[in-house]
Amino acid sequence: MRTYGQYCAVAKALDLVGDRWTLLVVRELLARGPCRYTDLRNGLPGIATNLLADRLRDLEQAGVVSREEAPPPVATTLFSLTSRGEELAPVLRELLRWGMPLMQQGPAPDDVFRAQWMAWPATMRLTDREPDAPPVTIQVLADGEPAFLETSGGGVHLTVGRADHPDAVLRGPARVVLGLLTGQIDLDAAAAAGLECEGDRVALERVLPDAVAV
Amino acid sequence: MRTYGQYCAVAKALDLVGDRWTLLVVRELLARGPCRYTDLRNGLPGIATNLLADRLRDLEQAGVVSREEAPPPVATTLFSLTSRGEELAPVLRELLRWGMPLMQQGPAPDDVFRAQWMAWPATMRLTDREPDAPPVTIQVLADGEPAFLETSGGGVHLTVGRADHPDAVLRGPARVVLGLLTGQIDLDAAAAAGLECEGDRVALERVLPDAVAV
DNA sequence: CCGCATCCGGGGCGATACTG
DNA sequence: CAGTATCGCCCCGGATGCGG
């Protein structure tokens, strides 16, 4: 294992999670929970399959990831974060904070996008304004990638995939959807930038953040 | 420039600061302030000089580092963080937090140590218990690397080098000094572990943290 | 299909030498 | 003092193969 050879906490941390792709593997496991190998590959477009296997081995040995064989009938391997791995959440959160301004200019020509990458930025700003009312569900399609928002316990969380009977549907470019969910633009500005919006407007205004000036 | 090609804030951040050595360069500039090239080399033992030059170029183009030619009589180049670069402080802080547990087992056989690597961990826990009393200075020598603590405005900050007339002197292995300054062990335990302690005991107890159980 | 292992080409990285 | 030049090597990226 390659190390910096420095008796410094930052260097020691980077010895374990500083390699290329490593923190992105952790990002996937934090955003989606326990994952199969194939799910990870899908959430890490561009990674070579041998590298993913390498990183999972390294992370397992570092005590960050644990591997469990799911029993039949599933009969697959599930990768999940250990408690030590979940403690990397603040690191990822601050990296996300620092990187958010870079998202405003939109994706590069051949950037890929995945719905789960909205989970953290969204739940950082979204709250349920009427926690005692019946829960609502909002389907989101950003660049065609499906996810849905659900109110629960005063907060809002995002799940990858399609909801059964959503109260509203938001559809548009990832940049616009992300700007809306993170409070950088409001519904009117989003609509002007290409957001399609169907269903219950009240449900939307219940969870969407107030846009703040930048 | 190599990118992950993902429209995700974390990936965009790592595109800029995820390369090997990059965050450690930022660590040095955060801990020491504006630095000369040679200072950086000394604070980054193990880095190849061409890599340091590369990283500084990349960081400059990313808007993280700025380069300024100091006027005569100094006549040298100073590298410093831009405001955007200083916003990486929370990322480094969380990385440090996560890496701290890895420091308890002490340095690896050929780990190097530099005094400025104590600056962040120390100032995270140290406070001046008597902010209205005259300021005190404590010389620290960890593995022979000199630095000194000064009280100022209710806080304590660490500077690399030697103080003129310190009120007390602490000398010992880096692991012990670090454990003491971060409140993992108390003065008695540190003394038992090889810490030498001279000078005004009252000054020490004024700034040292209460040890907490781990 | 899922979870890799193997092979191979290119370039990032590491060490040393050298220079204005 | 602040880099550039050079040269291996191994990490990384991409493709393919392969056992369960």
Q: How far is A176 from A142, CA to CA, in rounded Å?
A: 8
Q: Is B1 on the interface with A (CB under 8 A)?
A: no
Location of structure tokens 């374990």: A16
Per DSSP, chain B holds a count of helices (H) and strands (E) of 10, 7
Q: How far is B90 from A185, CA to CA, in rounded Å?
A: 26
Residue B135 has a CB neighbour count (10 Å cut-off) of 14
Q: Is the peptide bond before B73 cis (omega within 30 degrees of 0)?
A: yes
> Which tokens is A205 given?
């205004």
Whole-number pLDDT of residue B73: 66
What is the distance in angstroms between the Cα of B14 and the nearest Cα belonging to chain A? Answer: 8
Q: How far is B64 from A95, CA to CA, in rounded Å?
A: 14
Q: Is B94 on the interface with A (CB under 8 A)?
A: yes
Residue A141, C-beta contacts closer than 8 angstroms, at least 6 positions apart: A169, A170, A171, A172
Residue B56, C-beta contacts closer than 8 angstroms, at least 6 positions apart: B25, B37, B40, B65, B67, B79
> Which tokens is B80 given?
């410093």
Cβ contact (<8 Å) for A27 and B12?
no
Whole-number pLDDT of residue A212: 75
CATH of domain B9-87: 1.10.10.10
Question: CA geometry: angle at A100 spanning A99 and A106, to 5°?
Answer: 105
**Among candidate residues A86, A126, A127, A120, the one with its CA nearest the CA of residue A103:** A120
Q: How far is A177 from A187, CA to CA, in rounded Å?
A: 10
Q: Which residues of chain A have pLDDT under 70?
A: 71-74, 213-214
Mutate to test the interface with A, among B3, B22, B88, B95 (most CBs of A within 10 A): B95
> Residue B184 burial by CB count (10 A; 0-12/13-18/19+): exposed, middle or buried?
buried
Q: How far is A176 from A187, CA to CA, in rounded Å?
A: 10
Q: Where in chain A is the domain with CATH 3.30.1050.10?
A: 108-207
pTM to 2 decimal places: 0.95
Location of structure tokens 């629960």: A152
Pair B151, B207: CB distance under 8 Å: yes
Whole-number pLDDT of residue A211: 82
Q: How far is B120 from A178, CA to CA, in rounded Å?
A: 34
Whole-number pLDDT of residue A74: 66
Provide the β-strand partners of residue B198. Answer: B169
Each residue of B167-197: pLDDT tens digit? 999 999 999 999 999 999 999 999 999 999 9
Architecture of the domain delimited by A108-207: 2-Layer Sandwich (3.30)
**Element of type H or E holding A142:** strand A137-142
Whole-number pLDDT of residue A72: 66
Each residue of B138-170: pLDDT tens digit? 999 999 999 999 999 889 999 999 999 999 999
Each residue of B19-50: pLDDT tens digit? 999 999 999 999 999 999 999 999 999 999 99
Pair B147, B159: CB distance under 8 Å: yes
Q: How far is A137 from B8, CA to CA, in rounded Å?
A: 24
DSSP state at residue B61: H
Q: Contacts of residue B20 in chain A, CB cutoff 8 Å? A: 18
Whole-number pLDDT of residue A162: 95
Q: Is A1 on the interface with B (CB under 8 A)?
A: no
Provide the β-strand partners of residue B45. Answer: none
Orientation angle between helical segments A89-99 and A22-32, nearest 10 degrees:
100
Q: How far is B121 from A212, CA to CA, in rounded Å?
A: 34
Q: How far is B201 from B167, CA to CA, in rounded Å?
A: 9
Q: Examine the pLDDT at B1 and tell me if it is beyond 90.
A: no
DSSP B130-188: -TTSPP-EEEEEETTEEEEEEEETTEEEEEES--SS-SEEEEE-HHHHHHHHTTSS-HH
Q: Where in chain A is the domain with CATH 1.10.10.10?
A: 9-87
Pair B6, A45: CB distance under 8 Å: yes
Chains A and B form CB pairs within 8 A to the count of 151
Q: How confident is the model at residue B212 (pLDDT cuts 50, 70, 90)?
A: confident
Pair A113, A174: CB distance under 8 Å: yes
What is the C-alpha radius of gyration for chain B, rounded to an integer number of angstroms? 19
Cβ contact (<8 Å) for A9 and B45?
no
In the chain, the amino acid numbered B131 is P
Whole-number pLDDT of residue A82: 97
Residue of A nearest to B142 (CA): A7
Cβ contact (<8 Å) for B96 and A18?
no
